[in-house]
Amino acid sequence: MTGPRIRPRRLRATPAWRRLQRETRLDASQLVLPMFVAEGAPEARPISSMPGVLQHSTETFRAALHRAAEAGVGGIMLFGIPEHKDAVGTGATDPEGILNVATRIAVAEIGDSLVVQTDLCLDEFTDHGHCGVLDAHGAVDNDATLERYRDMALAQAAAGSHLLGLSGMMDGQVDAIRSSLDAVGRGDVALLAYSAKYASAFYGPFREAVQSSLQGDRRTYQLDAGNRREGAREVALDVAEGADVVMVKPAMTSLDVLADAAAVSPVPVWAYQVSGEYAMIEAAAARGWIDRERAIDESLTAIVRAGADAVLTYWAVEAAERWKDA
């Protein structure tokens, strides 16, 4: 009996073969850990919808920073949770606001070991929860918001941030911020543009994490989930405006957009494995429905396989430590 001459299974026959011919490899340096720091918190507070993720106090934050550095992850992305909010997000530009304080702590503690990144968006700081300031009719005013973003960029650069995460999805934000930084001699500060950021149901747990005040939705500025070409257009615009890195978010439901961006982008392309992706795997694993560690690694592999040069993930430190010990 004659069998097939071409047998791809030959290269899957043993663990050694599978390791040798693996196309996509993961490394701790590809991972960025999002971190939440709460103003006035006496101790770390658990986030119920994201088991294992914390709102840090400024003290517990220090230990978590060193753990991330020792694990060998590539960087951290910081989010501040203020005690007080207002219509224009005053705390975002206050040098003593929680995000800028946390940035100074991070740079002082581990600034030579990790890329310290900061979320440049107003949503955590506004009492209405939108990513920009509102006009007289309650709509987000794009150009007025850019002025606030310029001030935020200068404040975050002064606090020591290495990379600003432009997550607000305002038209022209990369150009506005790059121009403001360059005008004061801060060409050293890099910009990460959240270029293809979709209006997604998978952001739900994040809203708890940052104690969001959002009423309504963000569909007038975040992308519609059905639009692939629009994602590519946003990436191209941000590259043209001077972004050093571009982002696709959320990762899981945007792998096609991620692959499109990776195929043409002259700058690194990152992806954000968002809170809902994290929460789903944690919830299913807690019920014994899936193998937790395999699911984490498979999800990260899929994102890198699609073209991500780095991944923001809440499992960054855990995965890095586990891979180191493997």
**Catalytic residue ranges:** 197, 249
Cα 154-158-162 angle, rounded to 5 deg: 90
Residue 110, token pair as written in the block: 């581990």
Own/partner pairs for 142-151, CB < 8 Å, 24+ apart? Answer: 142/170, 142/171, 142/172, 142/221, 143/172, 145/170, 146/170, 146/172, 146/173, 146/176, 148/88, 148/89, 148/92, 148/93, 148/122, 149/120, 149/122, 149/173, 149/176, 149/177, 150/176, 150/177, 150/180, 151/93
DSSP code per residue over 23-78 = S----GGGEEEEEEEETT-SS-EE-TTSTT-EEE-HHHHHHHHHHHHHHT-SEEEE
The CA radius of gyration of the chain, in Å to the nearest whole number, is 20
Rounded Cα–Cα distance for residues 260 and 321 (Å): 31
Largest CA distance in the chain: 80
Question: Please, are residues 118 and 78 in contact by the beta-carbon 8 Å criterion?
Answer: yes
DSSP character at residue 204: H
Rounded Cα–Cα distance for residues 44 and 180 (Å): 35
Question: Please, are residues 254 and 203 in contact by the beta-carbon 8 Å criterion?
Answer: no
CA distances from 171 to 87, 141, 238, 317 (A): 20, 11, 9, 34
Cβ neighbours, 10 Å, residue 245: 23
